[in-house]
Structure 1
């Protein structure tokens, strides 16, 4: 599967946030600030997961509809991926 540039850019931003947290730790910044940044990273990663799953789901569903196949199982798998990611 080919991934959109926007999704890759999201992950690069998250990578930058993680590096920022590591720098904060090295600088012995306040725990509350670090945890706040880590929560922001988690939220950003959750959104990225949602984008990847939804884009993949859309593509798979379109293919299955074109082939006349049932889409129920694909939708269930996508929902399970989202649930497992949390």
Structure 2
């Protein structure tokens, strides 16, 4: 699967968030502010995981349908990926 640019852009935003958090730590910002930003970065990563799994699932289901095969195994694999990411 070729990863679309919007997926890469999501991760670049997360990368920027993490760099910002490191900068906050280097500047001795308040713990509460750092934790708030860490939580935001974690949420962004969780959303990205969901997006990547959904796009992969869509791609795989279409491929299975083109072959005339059931997509049940692909769906189960996607569910397992989501469960493991939690």
Aligned residues: 86
- For 2:80 and 2:32, the matched residues in 1 are separated by 32
Residue equivalent to 1:76? 76
User: What displacement does 1:58 show?
Assistant: 0.3
- For 2:60 and 2:73, the matched residues in 1 are separated by 11
TM-score normalised according to structure 1 size? 0.97
Gaps of 5+ in 2: none
Residue equivalent to 1:53? 53
User: What displacement does 1:39 show?
Assistant: 0.4
- For 1:83 and 1:20, the matched residues in 2 are separated by 29
User: What displacement does 1:64 show?
Assistant: 0.2
Calculate the aligned-residue CA RMSD, in Å: 0.6
Could you list the runs of 4 or more consecutive aligned residues of structure 1 that deviate by over 2 angstroms after TM superposition?
Answer: none
- For 2:77 and 2:63, the matched residues in 1 are separated by 16
Residue equivalent to 1:67? 67
